[in-house]
Structure 1
Amino acid sequence: MTVFIDTSGTPDIAFGDLFTATGSDSGLGEVNVPTDSTVFQVTYIETAGAPATADRINQLVNTDFGVPIVISALNDGTDPITGIDLTTVAGETYVDSSSGTSIVRVVYDSSQCLGSGFFAFDVNGKQISFPGPVILYHELSHALRAATGTTQTNDEIPAETDENVLRSQEGLCLRDVNNHGGGCGAGDTCGGTVNGCFIVSATTGSAESEEVQRLRALREMVAGATRLGATLIDRIYDEYYQFSPAIAGRLGQDALARQAVLLVAVRPLLAWYTLAGILAFDGEGYGATQAMRDLERVCPRYLGRTSVAGVLAGLRAGQPLPPRMPPLLQSFAEDVRKAATLPHAGWAILDPLARAWGAAGGRRDIRAEVAQWLADAPLDKLAAPADAMLDGELSALAGLFDFHPESRRVLGARLTRAWPQAISALARHGFI
């Protein structure tokens, strides 16, 4: 085994970026190194049919190059070995012999230039996005040649050529391999995304499963409706990224745990989102009635609806899982409690799960539960839209509550406090 992740900095983000590079293959994992607490060892059993980028990760992880490759994802600041400020260069790869033995170090800025993002250039000189998984995959291209002694005079060209394989896979703009420039700032994505549905992919066994595809379609529908919705989704994924790759990695090692999470979390969440989407965009009718039935169906009685709801509520409140739960699921408790403290991910994941199981078990009005959940959306934590866009954004947002107008006013009360300059517009669109 050759690849390790430095435990300092943001190791979960490093693992998540690797996970994306494999095409969200659940065969990726990590284990402790008994003799060295400063690193995790990466493991990988490649799933048949995984993309070409997964082949590269498999080669790196499962080939003994005689020299370790250590990945450090730094959340801003300076590389402690070279002194280089990574917020200006995105990443670097080099051979470190300071300890007396050679180590290939892959170091990159996981903060995306302190939140500003990184950009590179396409063949037309246009700025294109340079997200974390692409930066890491680029640097691992350098690392392979450093480990095998085949580094080229201009090693950027093969690294950028390899980078484009991942870009193509994720639907991102392709980079000009003869233009090595870039910097801090936004860039075009060409409609692609590297925000992985990590847990859904891990439980269903594929980044292209029906569940993942449906989740992506729902995400794109919300993001396309309002800029507020698109920004909210970005915030949710930023927080989701903090805990989901680690959970997905552990799920990849246990089939029973994957099945349990699929039944208890993934399918109920997907049914909840589907119902919320139908009510918000299409209103009530046969589609909503069928979606309510589907939600009850995926919260089956044999799992103990009231018990599951109680466990979820306890986790939301920071309580431990019951001792009878399987040890691997117990190991998720800390990650779930972390999610509970995150305002956007907690609202998007734990709140609807608790509501879904509680409504199924207590025969509560699921329609009203969805409306209350939408009203609790943490939109008040976002900046108010610019004046030129305010009426259009609030009109689109108000329409999502036509099936339950009183919930619109619940949200409006919070927005009034958060956006006092928008009170007149909020009143015009029925929020107050």
Structure 2
Amino acid sequence: MTTKRHASPGRTAAWWTAIIGVVLVSVLASTSGTYALWNSTAKPLAGGATITTATPAVTITGFNSAGGTYSTVGTVKTVPVTVKNTGDATLSTTAIVPTLASGTATAAGAFDVVRWGPVSATTECTASAQPASYTNGNYATVLKFSVASLAPGASAFYCVRTKLTTATSGSANIRLTATGTVSTNWKATATNTAAFVAQAGDTTAPAAPYEPWTPWTTNITGTTIGLGWSAATDNVGVTDYEIYRNGALVGTSGGATTYTDRYLRLGTTYTYTVRARDAAGNFSAMSPSVSGTTASWLDMNESYRINNIGSGLCISIDAFTNGSAIRQQPCGANGVDKQTWKFADTNTGNNSYSIMPRNGSPIGLDVNLDWNAARGMDDWNPVIGWSYGASTNQQWKVEQTTQGVYRIVSVLSGKCLDVPNASADANVALIQYTCNGTNAQNFTLTAVP
């Protein structure tokens, strides 16, 4: 019997689709692991991770309270500025950028700005707060800063102090824009604006004390010069006077028309000028100058620093014990008491003084009698510290050589206190030497507090 074979019918497209689907389902079902579906709204984060549902948001508040009217130079306000993450994604950084939203750059530039923080709470931003570190300058530089990472709901607090420093009138609206960043191109912004109004419009300077009201000197001693002057005039009112000695500011009088310049050098001429200041910070021109010369005699109620003219160094004692060396040292290097001296009249009728530390130590300048057989009469004999016993090797004459310059002469030997070899080096021990008029033997005596 013959068996007839029939040809297989052709495979249709639908059939192949069904077969592939079954195979694919089988493969997926048998493979371990999890497959996350790609979401077109996912946002990239650092490290390649993604987040698909989050809303970045930020607020900045408080700076607006710094605004207002500043009517006089010196007006100050201190306010807290709060930057808060009000969204539900961590802000990796938040940049604060100031801009002049409206008004004039002149008005904005009239304010000095100080910023410090972050602080732990807004209560730390008080008028009396003294930050350990801060940023100071104009608004454009000081108010441009960044806040570190902020978690959702977290806040960062900063203190801002504004002060009107220039007498001007005008307004300036300064806007702070906070931009919180989650990642590139995924950000949120907020603004806070302070409206500053300066009304310190008094720009009229007071008149200077002038002829015939040139300042005058009074009550001159060896260490002080008193000054007086007639009051300056101003359209609003003079509040203070600045006093300049030899061109340098030395003090203010607080509105008084007298001033005493203290702790001056014996027998020295000083030149003074005065200028007035009003409440708006305007200054007058300088007054004509006046000169005064301190007396050349010692005031035994004062303490003095003794400087060698040649080296500029201060005369210092090593210790308050017998035999201690008397050296020249950098001023201030060996302690104030070891470089500050009192002169006391020996009451011997020879116009001499004992020279001892101001701290009450009985150790004074002494020509060492035990150096050699000459018993204090030779050149190069050391000068040391020794308990004062009223002997002539401890008595000294202070003689003016030129204006403000003195030599110190031993009553015993008639020789001068001397820096050997005119050395400019520190730690050099002093000696006595035949008086020769050189700067190794010339000293200035300046009163100190």
Q: Under a length normalisation based on structure 2, what TM-score does the superposition of the two structures give?
A: 0.23
The higher radius of gyration belongs to 2
Larger fraction in helix: 1
TM-score, length of structure 1 as denominator length: 0.23
Greater fraction strand: 2
